[in-house]
Amino acid sequence: MNYFDSKVISNKQLTGDIFVLEVERQNADAAAGQFFMLKCWDKELTLMRPISIFKAEEKTLHFMYRVIGQGTKKLAELKKGDLVSLLGALGTGYPIKEMKGHVALLGGGLGIPPLCQTAKELTAHGVEVDVYLGYRDVLFSLEDFEGCCANIFVSTEKGDEGYHGFITDLLKPEQYDAVFTCGPEIMMRKVAAMCKDKDVACWCSMEHRMACGIGACLGCSIKTADGMKRVCKDGPVFKAETLFQ
């Protein structure tokens, strides 16, 4: 974990409110499922903002985010050459090295970005990967999963692309050795229940409001089967059976 300032390479708008920020990596450690705390302000706001790793390339880091408040609005105003402060990489990511065989990744909305780096690392580890991507209407980032996934399944709730409905409708957990999921909690609960029914291992990446990102403030604590856990430090990736009983 390091705290450093990094130069912005690009900050592209993908859809109306979704952006991808690319910055210099500066040899920072980064693994699938982890996140960084970011800020590009001094006095206007206090807390850094947690953003998951979308892609970690040799010299650059990519963060996909949605503009939903003052912090992300400031991030969206960044231009090439600007400086952004980063703290990370933080948290416990997906258990890539434990995996073998055939793994499914299922993401919904802004739960999709963390699965891109996850797919790349699993594939590099020799695992066959299928990815299930659920959108509300407009598709984004499909091309980033090409080349590192055997199959890509898409659903839209309100759009005309792919399967019309929920992405969980397409998943058959019994076809896989494990399932990784990230997105709305109601979706992950459904995936966890489906996996439990078929006796398939499942890991979920939890989203929670964070203040420090390093486990000191306890503000992101949640109840688990193993007691109270900090999403930022003990997670954000947890075994599904510890989260949803």
Sole residue written with tokens 């982890």: 34
2-90 and 96-243 agree in CATH topology: no
Distance in angstroms (rounded) separating the CA atoms of residues 94 and 61: 18
pLDDT for res 43: 67
Distance in angstroms (rounded) separating the CA atoms of residues 136 and 91: 28
The beta strand positions in the chain, using DSSP E, are 2-13, 18-24, 35-39, 49-52, 55-56, 60-66, 83-90, 102-108, 128-135, 151-156, 163-164, 178-182, 201-205, 221-224, 227-230, 237-239
Distance in angstroms (rounded) separating the CA atoms of residues 45 and 72: 11
CATH number of 2-90: 2.40.30.10
Q: Output the CA angle 11-94-56, nearest 5 degrees.
A: 30
First-to-final CA distance of the chain = 33
Distance in angstroms (rounded) separating the CA atoms of residues 6 and 81: 9
pLDDT for res 158: 84
Q: Which CATH architecture has domain 96-243?
A: 3-Layer(aba) Sandwich (3.40)
β-sheet with 201-205: strand ranges across: 163-164, 151-156, 128-135, 102-108, 178-182, 201-205, 237-239
Mean pLDDT by 10 residues, the chain (245 residues): 93 95 96 96 81 97 95 95 96 96 97 97 98 94 94 91 94 98 96 97 88 83 89 92 84
SS3 236: strand
Helix (H) or strand (E) holding 217: none
What are the domain boundaries of the chain?
A: 2-90, 96-243
Phi, psi dihedral angles at 70 (to 5 degrees): -65, -35
Alpha-helical segments (H) within the chain: 70-76, 113-124, 142-145, 185-197, 240-243
pLDDT for res 207: 81
